[in-house]
Amino acid sequence: MVVVGARLAGCAVAAPLARAGRRVVVLDRMGFPSDQLSTHVLLPAGTSELAKLGALPRILALKPSRVRWTQIVVEGISALERLRPAADGIDFGVCVPRDLQDVQLVEAAREQGADVREHCTVQSLRWRAGRVTGVRYRDAGGSEHDIASTLVVGADGRRSSVASLVGAWTPYRLSRNGRGLVFRYIDDPMAGGVEAETYYQWREGNSFAFAFPTTPLGRLVILLMGHRDEASDARADPEGYWQRKLDEHPGLAARVAGAPPGTKLRSTGETPAFFRASSGPGWALAGDAGHFKDPVTGQGMRDAMFAGRTLAEELLPVLDDADAVDCATRAWEAARDRECLPAYHFANSDTRVERQSAVICEVLRDAGRTTDPDITDLLGRARTPQQILTPTRAARALAAALMRGEQPRTQTLRRLLPDLRTELAVRAELRAGHFRSTRTIPGSEHPGAVWPAPPQAVA
Amino acid sequence: MTRIAVVQPALVLGDVAHNLERVEDLIRDAHREHSPEAIIVPEACTTPNVFAKILRGTPRPVDGQPFQLLTRLARELGCVIGGGFVAVRGKHAYGTFVLAEPNGAVHLHDKDIPTAWEQHFYVGGNDSGVARCETLGCTVGLMSGWEWARFRTSARVRAGGAQVVLGGMCWPSMPLNWPGPLRAFSEREHGIWREQARALPGQVARLTGVPVAHASHVGAIVGETPLGPGIPWKTQMLGESQICDRDGTILARLTLEDGEGHVAADVDLTAPPAPLDPLAERYWIPRFTLTTHAAWHAMNAHGALAYRLRHARKAFPWQSWPSGDLPDAIPPSSPTDAAAATSA
């Protein structure tokens, strides 16, 4: 089997297959270590995926902060929650810069038998009778090679060459991001304390800020998610922008007070969410190549590994039968969508650049009464948004918001109707379970995304 | 003048992978030899349609491997390619004929009535079977199997203003292994069917007043006998791939004896349709025998009931697949954006 792309999804699909004795060649145009724009964050379910991939010992050897808590602050209302352990008992999240992390995934895949070839660029796919049967690639020396394969997996990111080559470049479902992503690393002035075991997020006005203890111990990554246009503000005047954000988020300012200047700010303003057709005869798209959520909820890394691992699990029993492989990849795509749709819609909701609703504030106030896992189950994928915000709980939160009146009651009610309509449409879609549904949901999916032209030829 | 090639394949029952490879080879060969502007392969190019349990598992997703084969070859070879297969579209399987253009445009047509035993495996569609083909610069009528043999199909194509009829045929004959007097009977029926298959493309050309390209299966095949478990139905696909001019003149032809191959002919697609024969108030164009009529009705009823029962029990393997559909008219697209089945 050939996997194109050797990061999260690529290694997650390659490692279990190689471990089972299958011949897996992984091609990546980059050499590792190699950095990547990312939210970095993994909750216990994500750490558990690292373990299943066989990479966790290597990651832990990097001495990452082990994060067991999350503190969410919305409009001055705070909830501190312990992260719910994953099913295998792993009870901490990790946050590792991609240049440190991805090379460990590559080495872990190699240890398990995958043949990872760096600096190798896919040129074209081989087709026979309407089915992909292999790839042609160019190595670092410029020589071209052919590999025959029962399945070619494109795990080569949002600008996937494999997606382009199989004719799946343009998503069948697309939503424009409202927020951009700006981040920098700094030394943690609270290293060693419980703060260094806690993911923080602040939601004030229409701006979000996050502080994640990262790797190695004693470092923090700060992510700022304001309007997508702020990415260009951050590029034009980095330190002015940084100071503005500290002013908007006093909690963040307090968290980083006393820290020396951090690394330069990095940013992106174009992160539309999408679903591509992700399976076809002899091919599949895993990770960001097939589906991408707005980064605001930090689910991308976990979902990429989940997609890769579950694809490998579907394939293992059938890899010698081309027809069965095609059935398996289609079934896998449908299952991936069932897993990811709730989080996709939630991220689409969260990327709206607006003040948090009074109802959400009340839900957070309710969650903050204990330190048990609650809201963070959503980020840890232990429960769906629909399971967390049940109709009863939403009604209670609405009543509390109206009684408390912290936000104008008319505004709360005016906002309720469209939000309710969107939520009912999302629930109806999840119940229906249609394959590759193209029906967009107003309020969740945002128009105006500009989809880029496909790559010229190659990965 | 426009050069059209028809491919006459000898395919293997139920072996979809092998058959698609064979079809690809024949299309490429036809393209090399004739440099045509259109190449037509038969309906059911994934496997011959006879009565056989193995066919319950041979439908493919409408955007699956057969669709990819036809559409990708159209782009690569720069010519129109048409061919059919049993396709899963939404909740049901259909006898879908695909006409793919080099610019990525694709036109789909579902056969209106599955023929006799075919009712066991799929259901009929209700589209017009008429599409505008920009590559050929004309309106095209699409026909599959015994749609060719019904007056109403020619009427539909005439009403749609088609300037050429393209399509495929999968016509297995009567059993040729029956013993004693039954053998004489079936051989007589076989002879009648051969003659009817020979005449049919030209008849459709005269009825519609346009050139026709008719690609047909050929070769020996062994199926099963409906309501006769364990009794093999050993027969032949009748061949008769033809390209006929609008007056019914056969311009190119492959018979049963010719076996596998391809032929091509030049036809004029610019002239307006000029039907020479009237549309009769009958159902069938050929004068089918009583036996054919009886078999048609009995097998239709048996097959349709069996399909409905099996479908209700979700007993077709393809019913467990996640399934979407494609529109009948797919607009031109770039190679990086091929059509994929979705749900509304």
**Do residue B23 and residue A128 have CB atoms under 8 angstroms apart?**
no
Amino acid A160: pLDDT: 97
**Do residue A333 and residue B322 have CB atoms under 8 angstroms apart?**
yes
Amino acid A152: pLDDT: 98
**Do residue B17 and residue A165 have CB atoms under 8 angstroms apart?**
no
Closest alpha carbon to A120 in A99, A103, A147, A141: A141
Query: Which of B70, B335, B342 is closest, CB to CB, to A438?
Result: B342
User: What does pTM read for this prediction?
Assistant: 0.96
Residue range B310-317: mean pLDDT, rounded: 97
**Do residue B342 and residue A165 have CB atoms under 8 angstroms apart?**
no
CA distances in angstroms from B230 to A358, B53, B115, B336, listed in the order given: 72, 11, 22, 48
Rounded CA separation B76/B82 (Å): 14
Chain A: residue whose CA lies nearest to B19: A129
Amino acid B28: pLDDT: 98
- Give residue ranges of A with CB < 8 Å to any B CB: 127-131, 163-170, 172, 277, 280-281, 322-323, 326-327, 330-331, 333-334, 434-439, 454
**Which regions in chain A score pLDDT beneath 50?**
458-459
**Do residue A331 and residue B322 have CB atoms under 8 angstroms apart?**
yes
What is the per-residue DSSP string for A141-193?
TS-EEEEE-S-EEE-S-TT-HHHHHHTB-S-SEEE--SB-EEEEEEE-TTTTS
Q: Cβ of B15: how many Cβ atoms within 10 Å? A: 15
Rounded CA separation A313/A292 (Å): 21
- Give residue-wise pLDDT tens across range A96-121: 999 999 999 999 999 999 999 999 99
Residues on chain A touching B331 (C-beta within 8 angstroms): none
CA distances in angstroms from B227 to A57, A380, B331, listed in the order given: 63, 57, 44
Amino acid A459: pLDDT: 37
Given a cut of 50, whether residue B45 has pLDDT beyond it is yes
**Do residue B70 and residue A322 have CB atoms under 8 angstroms apart?**
no
Cβ neighbors of A19 (< 8 A, separation 6 or more) are A54, A112, A113
- Give residue-wise pLDDT tens across range A121-139: 999 999 999 999 999 999 9
Minimal CA separation from A150 to chain B, in Å: 13
- Interface check for B72 against chain A (CB to CB < 8 A): the answer is yes
Per the rule left: phi > 0, alpha: psi between -120 and 50, beta: everything else, A453 is: beta
SS3 B265: strand
- Give residue-wise pLDDT tens across range B151-188: 999 999 999 999 999 999 999 999 988 888 888 999 99
Q: Cβ of A324: how many Cβ atoms within 10 Å? A: 15
Asked whether B122 and B306 are in contact (CB, 8 A), the reply is no
Query: Which of B21, B322, B334 is closest, CB to CB, to A330?
Result: B322
Between chain A and chain B, how many beta carbons pairs sit less than 8 Å apart? Answer: 91
Residues 1-60 (B) with a CB less than 8 A from some CB of A: 16-17, 20-21, 23-24
Cβ neighbors of A367 (< 8 A, separation 6 or more) are A79, A81, A374, A375
Query: Which of A172, A323, A331 is closest, CB to CB, to B17?
Result: A323
- Enter the DSSP assignment of A218: T
Residues on chain B touching A338 (C-beta within 8 angstroms): none
Residue range B218-239: mean pLDDT, rounded: 93
Query: Which of B63, B72, B343 is closest, CB to CB, to A434?
Result: B343
Q: Which helix (H) or strand (E) holds A330?
A: helix A322-350
Closest alpha carbon to B24 in A125, A133, A129: A129
**Do residue A326 and residue B65 have CB atoms under 8 angstroms apart?**
yes
Check residues A35 and B23 and name the one with the higher pLDDT.
Answer: B23
Edge-to-edge strands, sheet with A25-27: A115-117, A25-27, A2-4, A152-154, A283-285, A279-280
Torsion sign over Cα A148, A151, A155, A161: positive
Amino acid A457: pLDDT: 54
Residues on chain B touching A457 (C-beta within 8 angstroms): none
SS3 B236: strand
Cβ neighbors of A453 (< 8 A, separation 6 or more) are none
Preceding peptide of A97 cis, ω within 30°: no
Mean pLDDT score of chain B: 96
Given a cut of 60, whether residue B39 has pLDDT beyond it is yes
**Six token digits for residue A236:** 């034009």
Query: Which of B21, B324, B343 is closest, CB to CB, to A129?
Result: B21
Amino acid A232: pLDDT: 95
Instruction: State the amino acid at position A314 in one-letter form.
Output: E
Most distant CA pair in chain B: distance in Å? 60
Q: Are strands A144-148 and A131-138 parallel, antiparallel or unpaired?
A: antiparallel
Query: Which of A127, A435, A454 is closest, CB to CB, to B324?
Result: A435
Asked whether A58 and A147 are in contact (CB, 8 A), the reply is no
**Six token digits for residue B324:** 């979407």
Minimal CA separation from A341 to chain B, in Å: 15
Rounded CA separation B34/B194 (Å): 27
- Interface check for B67 against chain A (CB to CB < 8 A): the answer is yes
Closest alpha carbon to A419 in A348, A341, A365: A348
Cβ neighbors of B90 (< 8 A, separation 6 or more) are B323, B324, B325, B343
Rounded CA separation B10/A11 (Å): 44
Query: Which of A127, A170, A436 is closest, CB to CB, to B72?
Result: A127
Whose structure tokens read 């092998």? B18
Query: Which of B64, B334, B343 is closest, CB to CB, to A436?
Result: B343
CA distances in angstroms from B327 to B127, B133, B178, listed in the order given: 11, 16, 44
Q: Cβ of A450: how many Cβ atoms within 10 Å? A: 8
Quote the ipTM score: 0.94
Given a cut of 80, whether residue B273 has pLDDT beyond it is yes
Minimal CA separation from B283 to chain A, in Å: 37
**Among A133, A150, A170, A291, which would you mutate to test the B interface (most chain B Cβ atoms within 10 Å of its Cβ)?**
A170
Chain A: residue whose CA lies nearest to B26: A129
**Six token digits for residue A119:** 């600096």
Minimal CA separation from A1 to chain B, in Å: 19
Residues on chain A touching B70 (C-beta within 8 angstroms): 130
Q: Cβ of B270: how many Cβ atoms within 10 Å? A: 10
Residues on chain B touching A437 (C-beta within 8 angstroms): 342-344
Q: Are strands B138-144 and B164-169 parallel, antiparallel or unpaired?
A: parallel
- Interface check for B321 against chain A (CB to CB < 8 A): the answer is yes
Q: Where are the alpha helices (DSSP H) in chain B?
A: 16-34, 65-77, 151-159, 180-208, 290-312
Residues 211-250 (B) with a CB less than 8 A from some CB of A: none
